[in-house]
Amino acid sequence: MYKIKETPEDFVVKEITNVKAEEKGSYSYFWLKKRDYTTVKAVEKVAERLRIPVKNIGFAGSKDKRAVTEQLISIKNCGVKGLELKDIKLKYFGKGINPISLGDLKGNEFVITVKDYGKINDKIRDIPNYFDEQRFSKNNAEVGKAIVKKDFKNAVELILENKGDFEEKLRGYLKQKPTDYIGALRKINKKILKLYIHAYQSYIFNETVNQYLKIKTINTENIINKELTIEKDIIKNKIKKKKIPIIGFGSEIKDEEIKKIVDGILEKEGINLRDFIIPQIPELSSEGIDRELFIDVKDFKIVEKEKDKIVLSFSLPKGAYATIVVKNLFNL
């Protein structure tokens, strides 16, 4: 079985930004380089050192913890031109009038070392654009589902099962207000709370993709059996260009085949699209977007190849998972 992330240096990520730096503005932009930190934890460390609220720091997306990563962040009204902590470094990029928000990036470049790899399928084929396990952690999707269903007590209890960074804050708050579960949730960083919702949406997306590809594979196999190669190619091209909804309260699914799949999943989950409106914590409400069915892998190269180690480099659009690409290359 292949191995990745044995050390943080085995998984190097650099954000491809779409942010333009200027000479003036209320926000300072920095390249945040971190090692073996989640993005949120690194941002909290920076905020603590600068003695500013965490909400003054913006970033475009969460990067892997077990990795060496670089991403652009914004800091409001920041007077420093750089910062260096253990395993965290800020390098000044420029100014701007807007904060960096989730999604403000083109994609990411990866340099990944894979050890004990056996064989590699070095031809990039159609790789489904699944969300990978780091999106879900232990029970992130379950927490998200509880919030969507407005079962805030269960959401808090599930978070406490993780015994993570928020346990002390939540327990301390609940000691004073034992039944105020919404208030307890508000003690958690808003970006983390949104990640719970996103994890649940990602779970539904993955299940939708599973069911859709299963149907299409059966259809394609039938066509292959009939040797209708032109029709087969047309169907494959249509599938390649397909988008799948990450559902939210504003989702409008025009494809009847996908709509039927999503409706079946929602019925099984006991929710509907309007449940993604969360009046109790409005900032967690999610309208929904579309996501490409397949990953667009670019600039794929084998940088180095030895008997027990291979180094790969490639770039992916925002939201795509390099670990999904690796799984498809080595799970032969």
Three-state DSSP at 143 gives: helix
Give the pLDDT confidence of 34-85 residue by residue, as tens digits: 999 999 899 999 999 999 999 999 999 889 999 999 999 999 999 899 999 9
**Domain segments of the chain as ranges:** 19-103, 133-292
The structure's pTM equals: 0.88
The per-residue pLDDT for 53 is 93
d(CA 173, CA 147): 18
Q: Tell me the sheet residues that pair with 105.
A: 17
The per-residue pLDDT for 320 is 96
Radius of gyration (Cα) for the chain, nearest Å?
Answer: 22
The per-residue pLDDT for 191 is 82
What interhelical angle do 140-148 and 152-161 show, nearest 10? 170
> Could you give the C-alpha distances from 256 to 38, 65, 153, 217, 275, in angstroms and in order?
39, 39, 36, 18, 22
Q: How confident is the model at residue 296 (pLDDT cuts 50, 70, 90)?
A: very high
d(CA 217, CA 204): 20
Q: Over range 175-189, report the average pLDDT.
A: 94
Provide the CATH number for the domain formed by 19-103 in this structure.
3.30.70.3160
Q: Tell me the sheet residues that pair with 30.
A: 73, 92
Looking at the predicted structure, is the pLDDT value of residue 275 above 90?
Answer: yes
The per-residue pLDDT for 233 is 52
The per-residue pLDDT for 166 is 76
The per-residue pLDDT for 222 is 53
Give the pLDDT confidence of 89-127 residue by residue, as tens digits: 999 999 999 999 988 999 999 999 999 988 888 778 889
d(CA 313, CA 329): 13
**Stronger pLDDT, 247 or 171, i.e. the higher one:** 247
The per-residue pLDDT for 217 is 77
Strands 289-292 and 57-59: unpaired
Q: Please answer whether residues 215 and 257 qualify as being in contact, where contact means their C-beta atoms are separated by less than 8 angstroms.
A: yes
Q: Which residue has the tokens 């934890």?
A: 41
The per-residue pLDDT for 228 is 47
Q: Please answer whether residues 21 and 29 qualify as being in contact, where contact means their C-beta atoms are separated by less than 8 angstroms.
A: yes
> Could you give the C-alpha distances from 228 to 195, 212, 235, 236, 237, in angstroms and in order?
45, 21, 11, 12, 15
Average pLDDT, the chain: 91
d(CA 56, CA 42): 14
The per-residue pLDDT for 169 is 84
Strands 82-85 and 309-317: unpaired
**Stronger pLDDT, 271 or 118, i.e. the higher one:** 271
Give the pLDDT confidence of 186-244 residue by residue, as tens digits: 998 888 899 999 999 999 999 999 999 998 876 555 544 444 454 455 556 667 778 99
Structural tokens at position 284: 């967690």
